[in-house]
Amino acid sequence: MKRRLVLVEGRHFPGCRQEDVAGQRLTWRTLVAAVLVSLLALSLTACEGGYTTRGERVTMTEVGRGGEVDVRVDSANGSTTKDLEFDCTDCIVDVNVTLQVDQGSFKLEFLGEDDEVTLTLEASPGEQASGSGYMVTDGFGEGEYRVTADEAQGVSYHISYQLR
């Protein structure tokens, strides 16, 4: 660490204070770095889209190699990827889905291998969307689907599934 002596008229006098120039720079550099890291983290979160939800309730029942999933959401905004756990690894899961929303819009995208979209449903107020597709489970038995909500309220969707 470099230290600089304060000189008066070009001469050093005993008892003059020393300034820790490197320490001051380090403090400012640390502060600037902390601010930049915080801004970067905030911007990455914004790029992810973020997903906020209120009042989400999920009910899942299994019957043999199939089952039902009911989801109700009071309000949602943003996008995220969700997963369903099945008792089958690396399997194909056939799905029949219905979706409705009271306000805003809500979209579901069911994913196959390599995040290939196998079924897309989008609902707006007053219309119910329904369709059939499939999901592919990974080595942990999880099948994924994407959710995108735009100021959605009163969302409900029902998934009937059957393992192949």
What is the pLDDT at residue 16?
47
Give the pLDDT mean for 120-134. 94
Share of the chain above pLDDT 70, in %: 70
Q: What's the total number of domains in the chain?
A: 2
| Same domain, yes or no: 41 and 56 | no
What is the pLDDT at residue 142?
95
Residues 6+ apart with CB under 8 A from 133: 94, 95, 97, 110, 118, 119
Q: Output the CA torsion 45→49→52→56 (10° steps).
A: -130
What is the pLDDT at residue 126?
85
| Same domain, yes or no: 159 and 96 | yes
| Same domain, yes or no: 84 and 151 | yes
Residues 6+ apart with CB under 8 A from 25: none
| CA separation for the pair 137, 142 (Å, rounded) | 5
Is the per-residue pLDDT at 79 higher than 70?
Answer: yes
| Same domain, yes or no: 30 and 55 | no
| Same domain, yes or no: 82 and 113 | yes
| CA separation for the pair 84, 35 (Å, rounded) | 38
| Same domain, yes or no: 100 and 71 | yes
| Same domain, yes or no: 127 and 67 | yes
| Same domain, yes or no: 35 and 78 | no
Question: Could you tell me which residues are beta bridge partners of residue 4?
Answer: 19
The parent domain of residue 75 ranges over 51-163
| Same domain, yes or no: 70 and 139 | yes
| Same domain, yes or no: 43 and 76 | no
CA 67 vs. chain centroid, Å, equals: 26
Q: What is the pLDDT of residues 1-23, one digit of tens each?
A: 555 544 444 454 455 444 445 55
Q: How far apart are the first and last CA of the chain?
A: 68
Q: Indicate the average pLDDT of the chain.
A: 82
Given 12, 32, 48, the domain boundary residue is 48
What is the pLDDT at residue 30?
63
| Same domain, yes or no: 22 and 69 | no
| Same domain, yes or no: 82 and 97 | yes
- Report the CATH number at residue 95: 2.60.120
Q: What is the pLDDT of residues 25-51, one digit of tens each?
A: 556 566 555 555 555 554 444 445 689
